[in-house]
């Protein structure tokens, strides 16, 4: 029985129409509209900032995705290159002769400057081709090599030809020589695959991300191999088996705190423990992976515990009800159902690790390394540290490459997050 008065008086029947009530209603609607507008404004601001970021990166980095090349006919004389030992040939001289042939009027002192049009890599490109095919000795070979950075910038319109000659890095004569090559159709601007396939270099036109990408890959691999099983194991124990008492409370609080520890602190830990104490290889992706694993572990533990918690208790009861042991319940039923959540959390943790710079700086992964690592124990850079190195370099070519490298890193991050979303949608079960 309700306790409402049942004497015929309608409680509040008049109130719904009163001015005060209408006023309150209008106020409520105003508040709701205000909140909605605030949310929209915040969202718009976020999108604006994202747009500015992407626009800056793309407009700054777009030029780095193409690289000016020169096509040159190079006669390889047997005097310069000995057929018996093609690797030891004077390819610098061969290139010099070819340049002299291209600019027959240039005096020797001008030649010095003009040979700077070609990247330093030209002689090595030629050498590799001749070593691979010694038959070429005595013939004329057409090579296509990158121009050096200053000419690349000229071709991309970044040199103000109207300014005083002394204030530019290229003299009028050098610009003329370049224009001549251009008129001969020797200058091309193809896609710059070297950005992905070359390792780092002193010369911006040769510098690429291969070493950084492989270094990051190895570091993430080590990070995954260590943190994934360890994180899941720790989470399963804490969530399913550990007794709930003071000690497990303390552990839980500490894991949550660890997730919030600045990454540079993990870098210091890695420096002190892995490098100084264990004496591991400096700058190695293996050590980088260890440090990143320390950092990723709390993220994976927290994500896994949340995923385990989200499995409905009815599934546990069902399994226990037919006599499954605790271990059978966890590994046969709960863990498979929690797997999409665990994978999502892990990938997001790894994506975070991929973008982490500070801990890698501390263990020396910002070294200048011109070869891609052959194993996780070779010195190498990683993508974020490579960005850091290039951002520090003054050459114009590196400025564009920094933006391009950031775009590559962002590309990998987007890819990883897309995989996480895909896995979540594909394996998510509803029950």
Partner 1 sequence: MYDTTRPEMNVDQLHTKISARNVQVFYGTKQAIKDLNVEIQDKTVTAFIGPSGCGKSTFLRCINRMNDTIDSARVEGEIMMDGSNIYDRGVDPVQLRAKVGMVFQKPNPFPKSIYDNVAYGPKIHGLARNKAEMDEIVETALRGAALWTEVKDRLQESGTGLSGGQQQRLCIARAVATAPEVLLMDEPCSALDPIATSQVEELIEQLRSQFSVVIVTHSMQQAARVSQKTAFFHLGNLVEYGDTDDIFTRPQDSRTEAYISGRIG
Residue ranges in contact with partner 1 by CB under 8 A: 243-244, 312, 314-325, 328, 333, 337, 429, 431
Tell me whether residue 171 or residue 328 sits nearer to partner 1 (CB atom): 328
CB of 248 to partner 1, least distance (A): 11
CB 90 within 8 A of CB 74: no
Residue closer to partner 1 (CB basis): 242 or 265: 242
- The two tokens of residue 150 are 């200053």
Tell me the closest approach of the beta carbon of residue 357 to partner 1, in angstroms.
Answer: 42
Compare residues 23 and 312 and give the one whose CB is closer to partner 1. 312
CB of 324 to partner 1, least distance (A): 6
**Shortest CB 254 distance to partner 1, Å:** 22
Nearer to partner 1, 426 or 429 (CB): 429
**CB–CB of 102/181 below 8 Å?**
yes
Q: How far is the CB of 343 from partner 1 (least distance, A)?
A: 17
State how far the Cα of 144 lies from the Cα of 188, in Å rounded to an integer: 9
- Complex with partner 1: residue 157 or 321, whichever CB lies closer: 321
| Shorter beta-carbon distance to partner 1: residue 190 or 313 | 313
Find out whether 354 and 216 touch, Cβ atoms under 8 Å. Answer: yes
Of 311 and 362, which has the nearer Cβ to partner 1?
311
Q: Are 384 and 406 in contact (CB under 8 A)?
A: no
> CB of residue 232 vs partner 1: minimum separation in angstroms?
20
Q: Which is nearer to partner 1, 33 or 325 (CB)?
A: 325
Beta bridge partners of residue 147, listed in sequence order: 118
Reference 65, options 191, 206, 205, 200; nearest CA is 191
| Minimum distance, C-beta of residue 200 to partner 1, in the bound complex (Å) | 50
CA distance 190 to 337: 49
CA distance 147 to 122: 9
Give me the sheet containing 187-188, strands edge to edge.
Answer: 140-146, 69-75, 187-188
User: Residue length, the chain?
Assistant: 431
Least distance to partner 1, CB of residue 340, Å? 12
């Amino acid at each position: 029985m309700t306790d409402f008065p049942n004497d015929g008086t309608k409680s509040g029947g008049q109130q719904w129409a009163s001015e005060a009530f209408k006023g309150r209603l209008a106020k409520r609607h105003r508040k709701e509209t205000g909140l909605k507008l605030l949310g929209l404004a915040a969202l718009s601001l976020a999108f604006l900032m994202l747009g500015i970021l992407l626009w800056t990166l793309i407009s700054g980095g777009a030029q780095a995705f193409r690289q000016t090349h020169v096509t040159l006919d190079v006669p390889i004389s047997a005097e310069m290159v000995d057929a018996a030992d093609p690797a030891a040939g004077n390819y610098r001289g061969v290139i010099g002769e070819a340049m002299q042939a291209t600019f027959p009027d240039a005096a020797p002192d001008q030649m010095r400057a003009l040979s700077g049009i070609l990247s330093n890599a030209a002689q090595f490109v030629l050498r590799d081709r001749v070593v691979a095919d010694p038959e070429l000795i005595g013939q004329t070979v057409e090579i296509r090599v990158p121009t050096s950075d200053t000419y690349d910038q000229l071709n991309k319109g970044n040199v103000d030809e109207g300014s005083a000659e002394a204030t530019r890095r290229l003299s009028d004569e050098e610009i003329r020589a370049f224009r001549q090559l251009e008129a001969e159709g020797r200058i091309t601007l193809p896609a710059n695959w070297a950005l992905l396939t070359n390792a780092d270099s002193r010369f911006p036109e040769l510098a690429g991300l291969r070493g950084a990408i492989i270094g990051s890959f190895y570091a993430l691999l080590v990070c995954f191999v260590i943190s994934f099983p360890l994180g899941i194991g720790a989470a399963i124990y804490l969530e399913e088996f550990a007794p709930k008492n003071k000690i497990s409370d303390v552990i839980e609080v500490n894991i949550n705190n660890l997730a919030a520890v600045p990454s540079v602190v993990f870098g210091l830990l890695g420096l002190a423990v892995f490098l100084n104490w264990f004496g591991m290889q400096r700058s190695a992706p293996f050590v980088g992976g260890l440090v990143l694993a320390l950092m990723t572990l709390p993220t994976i533990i927290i994500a896994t515990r949340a995923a385990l918690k989200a499995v409905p208790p009815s599934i546990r009861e069902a399994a226990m009800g037919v006599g499954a042991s605790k271990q059978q319940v966890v590994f046969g039923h709960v863990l498979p159902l929690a797997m999409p959540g665990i994978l999502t959390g892990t990938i997001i943790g790894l994506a975070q690790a991929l973008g982490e710079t500070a801990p890698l700086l501390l263990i020396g992964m910002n070294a200048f390394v011109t070869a891609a690592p052959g194993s996780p124990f070779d010195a190498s850079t990683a993508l974020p540290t490579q960005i850091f190195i290039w951002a520090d370099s003054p050459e114009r070519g590196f400025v564009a490459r920094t933006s391009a490298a950031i775009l590559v890193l962002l590309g990998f991050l987007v890819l990883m997050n897309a995989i996480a979303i895909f896995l979540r949608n594909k394996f998510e079960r509803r029950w």
